[in-house]
Chain A
């Protein structure tokens, strides 16, 4: 990927200093735009390498890592972008998000806002929704995101802790994370992998094709079931109790609402449970920071139509603004935010 796709060399600097918080696709695309317009950009990233979900979520056999590192190195070597890794930026009492075990430094967001001409927040969705059933904190229960990034950080040599393989694995969910977690669990040597979803294959957000693909690899697909509890013995998960579902009236999303059928409870044995029931935005602040506000329900950063937060020189883009989406949408969002940021700083100079 060439994030600075709009120029060969950066324009001689002097346009201003910008901090990008979060080096995923949204942050990197914005960085590429800004260096082409002569800005000096520093990227703050809590993980040991940039790329975000492209690097640590999506499996390397789908996106080759060298395609991403090539783009990061181009920004570093040819455009003077400074990456501060293992550095979490936060305002106030830091919340624990997934991937935080790699952090060495904590920087106050207010300090960054003071030191730069403008700031872009692109911190993504690094927190997984819990299953919300009894036993969901037992040993052997992981979030899908945690499970996949543990493998990729291990394989890249950022940790010596080898993730568990699992014998009988139950994955809960029907989106990309569920598919990836199921496929990775199987590839890493699990004997049996169940991919379970509360609606049918037709409603699965990852799509019928993807489900059929992992089924052809050996994953067992079970639809119309929902977990009621994790069966625990000696603090360890030994199975998941499910209830069968039927499709009811369409809900607010237009999809048929899954309705539990009492009396159909049954247990699927498992020594590993991977919850892929959605990721939540992780802004670098709790509820408010000097005017930057988080939507209390969606946990997204609130921005206006110019992608500006409550502080006029602080912009936000990507999944932390839209909620879980896709690489391309995050890149588009990052590019648009960079344009608004550029217009904002130019207008200020003129005045």
Chain B
């Protein structure tokens, strides 16, 4: 995909395969370690003793980017949705627009969210949560790669019988 298409529709995305996630907190702990104590993939207790993580999907047509009045919420060259804090005015438009409640406004007053480990990606590395998830529940890549991986997993489930 060329850069222009990327910046318009997104290139990478990341999905969490909740079927295989065991709620072990590795993604949250690794994320908060990388980001000096603030985790951007966070688990919540959704009742019944189930804890599951949620984070930014880096949507292809991200409503937060559309809603942002200053252009602070933008897409980088890989297609990840990021906040440029020098432009952010902390108005919460992104939070209101996001269907998943992902962006947060933190002191002194700017939005913050998952940056898909921008520093790691710039060195050709994978986001920390993806690298460390023991169950490979977090799938990352171009939308085509993510789709392929999920289809292969679906096929394996259809074809292999569970081994006792």
Contacts and interface: CB of A to CB of B under 8 A. Distances in A.
B150 interface: no
Given A209-B50, A326-B24, A331-B26, A187 B135 contact: no
Contact of B32 (A8, A25, A204, A332): A332
A207 B49 contact: yes
Interface in A297-328: 326-328
B25 A5 contact: no
Interface string B153-164: 000000000111
Q: What is the interface of chain B mostly: helix, strand, loop, or mixed?
A: loop
Interface residues of B, number: 28
Contacts of B132: 1-3, 5, 29, 331
Interface in B12-58: 22, 24-30, 32-33, 48-50
Interface residues of A, number: 34
Interface in B116-149: 120, 123-126, 128, 131-136
A208 B45 CA distance: 12
Given A5-B128, A67-B134, A335 B25 contact: no
Contacts of B30: 5, 328, 331-332, 335
A157 to B, nearest CB: 16
A328 B27 contact: yes
Contact of A336 (B33, B48, B125, B136): B33
Interface in A53-69: 54, 58, 61-64, 67-68
Residue of B33, B120, B126, B136 ringed by the most chain A CB atoms within 10 A: B33
Given A209-B48, A331-B30, A63 B25 contact: no
A5 B22 CA distance: 21
Nearest to A62: B22
A241 interface: no
Interface of A: 1-3, 5-8, 25, 29, 54, 58, 61-64, 67-68, 187-188, 204, 206-210, 212, 326-329, 331-332, 335-336
Given A209-B49, A328-B29, 9 more contacts: A1-B131, A5-B125, A62-B22, A204-B49, A207-B49, A208-B49, A209-B48, A328-B28, A329-B29
Closest 7 pairs (CB-CB, A-B): A207-B49, A328-B25, A332-B29, A5-B131, A328-B26, A209-B48, A2-B131
12 contacts: A1-B131, A1-B133, A2-B131, A61-B162, A67-B134, A188-B164, A208-B48, A209-B50, A210-B49, A212-B48, A328-B25, A328-B27
